[in-house]
Structure 1
Amino acid sequence: MKIAMIGQKGIPAIHGGIERHVEELAVRLASHGHDVRVYTRPHFTPPTQRKYRRVSLISLPSLKTKHFDAISHTFLATLHAMRQGADIIHYHGVGPSILSFLPKLFRSRAKVVSTFHCIDRKHQKWGFMARQILRHGEWASVTHPDRTIAVSKSIQKYARGVFDREITYIPNGVEPQPAAARHRSPTLRRYNLTPGKYIVSVSRLVAHKGIHHLIAAFRNISTDHRLVIVGDGFFTDEYVQYLHELAAEDPRIIFTGFQSGQDLRDLFAHAALYVLPSEAEGLPIALLEAASYGVGIIASDIPENREVIYAGRRPIGLTFATGDVEDLQRVMLDALRRPAAMREFALRAKRLVAEQYAWDDVTRATENLYRELLGSTQPANRSNAPAQAQHPAPTTA
């Protein structure tokens, strides 16, 4: 199959859940022998980089502004993918999916897929008009494509309730991680951290991720643990400055900026707790990653977080009332005072994500969806893992 991925900023992922999702999916599809083409933006992936782990990278320009970056790039990428004769054109995100009608308008033979990653209009960075456009993008995402994927059951339920559409559930995934030896790695030495003596949060520094709530709650806790905030902003310089000002009087709080590779693995693996204070998510990859490292989890009680926390017979972490600083403070104190209980949560979490959220199973489910749309009767090889696509018969949704 010739598969075009459109909507992401690029790969390899520097930041962003969509970019990480596309990277993991594209690399695995390419390893299965498919011709996978990921469209990239020059400010994210160097235009000179044409290949990444068997995936073809196609760099096209965009209008690098907050409101026009994604849609301008999506327009050019769609035209290019149609000219190149793609079998599958796969849009990622509701904003790019606004243009998912174009292949049918131009009578392209390609089958069109959209992945509904998140209810983006809930993000605080968007103004009134942008929210209305993103709401239209939600409708477009579940209306124009031949098949729409939801990365969480919460989004699947949302599409059913708001748009009366049945869409396919295929979750985000995670790579299982080996147990980490408790030692002070170079990464920890760089930030003067001791294994098991810090709380970590990994996210883009944008307002809807709720990092300001985490800082406010941590400042009121008397503990020798440190708080490590991993990530950078994206068109959110004022918010990043606000976070630094909020944390300025507490030397226990550390901002590492963007981290990847072994540095990020070390920061995850040696943390006592991982906290996700988001006010809006799709299905948080960072939460799955924390679980895969066997770290104790605390998350806001939005439906998408609860979906993971309560995915098994018993919860795999603790939740707090979204946006409630006092409740977050109470839950963090409780977790720090009960390390044995948090270790039990962490062990359950590690097992659960390996069983239900493996990237290999996500890829097989997506590949089978493509094959169904193209009329192939030969499914991708399947493992015994339970993570499979849940979808209706093909419709215009």
Structure 2
Amino acid sequence: MSGTRQTSHPALFMLLMILVGLNLRPALSSLAPVLPRIEAQTGISVGGIGALTTLPVLCLGLFAPLAPWLARRLGAERSLSLALLVLATGLGVRGLASPVWLFTGTFLVGAGIGVAGSLLPALVKRELPAAADLMTGVYTMALCLGGALGAGLSIPLADALHSWPLALVAWAALAITALVAWLTLMPQPTSPAIQHASGGSIRALLHQPLAWQVMILMGLQSSLAYIVFGWLPSLLIARGYDDARAGWMMAASVMVQLVSALAAPWLARLGRDQRPALLLMLSMVATGLSVLLVGPIEWRWAGVALLGLGQGGSFSMALTLIVLRTADSRLAGRLSGLAQGGGYSLAALGPLAVGLMREYDLSLMTINLVLLAIAALAAGFAMLAGRQRRLDTDEQGRLFTRIYH
């Protein structure tokens, strides 16, 4: 990062983070409700639809590790501008509606979101170090709101515009708005040297069990999140709901995430150990999914609420751990790239697995059991990543894990 101007006012930085955060989920959640229409009008097979839902998550994993590299060469601010431009381009390309352009646009969307999402924790740690965990909750709340808007407005937009491709393209306007605001008001660092400090390389991180624990937890809870984004409406339709109702149920669940996304970091601050909060959130996810997929129909809104509370809180906590488990913004940036890169690569297996189970006509009960197994595995890694540990470097720049009480 380069530049000598004063860093932006905290309130302005917060507003920019919220605006950017609003863009990092509609590109994913707006696709799921219209998947039946895409399948019907483009002739893409069920397996192809599964690949389409898996591709953006895989791209998040592939491109998130590029964020620290881009930040060193272009600066985090310009890198985020580039990511928003790629995101807006991908959203526009998807509107061409043919299978080739749908996959191309979705690839670009995943690349843009992967880089932007990986850059934000380090920027938060740099701009607001004393309240980085709470600011992460605000940013996550913006992600959840964007996801809810994408899910809830997808079918109404497609119906109003008489075109699902135009409904997908419409979200490019929000990305362009964020890009213009970021270019105009982007923060500038007061301490450019921080990016050139030694130690804490990705290779060194890979030798720290704590980094693996955070990465795998990120991947497992994200796998459940992207299964919901990619497949929940289709699974609800298989249960007997129409596409509009299924889309609104997913939107309501994502909207509920706003509450726990903001509250989870506060809850984590009540004690020195984040494990109880993580286990509570993951239990809510497991219960909510079970109610929606195989539980009594009359309990569906309780399932929607539990799923939303659990997923908003678990994702917010996973991002907060990146901040809490690192000593400075440089380490936060590198752990963010590793955790989100490796984590999202792992998460991509979730939507792919559900797509395969759907292609082979496996029952909702079987799918639910697989999702419960993922949640249980996530809980196991939460017990490790939630402990009071922090990655730091010594005077010689060597990375180590500090245990603190």
TM-score above 0.5: no
What is the TM-score of this pair, normalised by structure 2? Answer: 0.31
What is the TM-score of this pair, normalised by structure 1? Answer: 0.31
**Higher helix proportion:** 2
**Higher strand proportion:** 1
Flag the structure with more relative contact order, 1 or 2, with Cα contacts below 8 A and sequence separation at least 6: 2
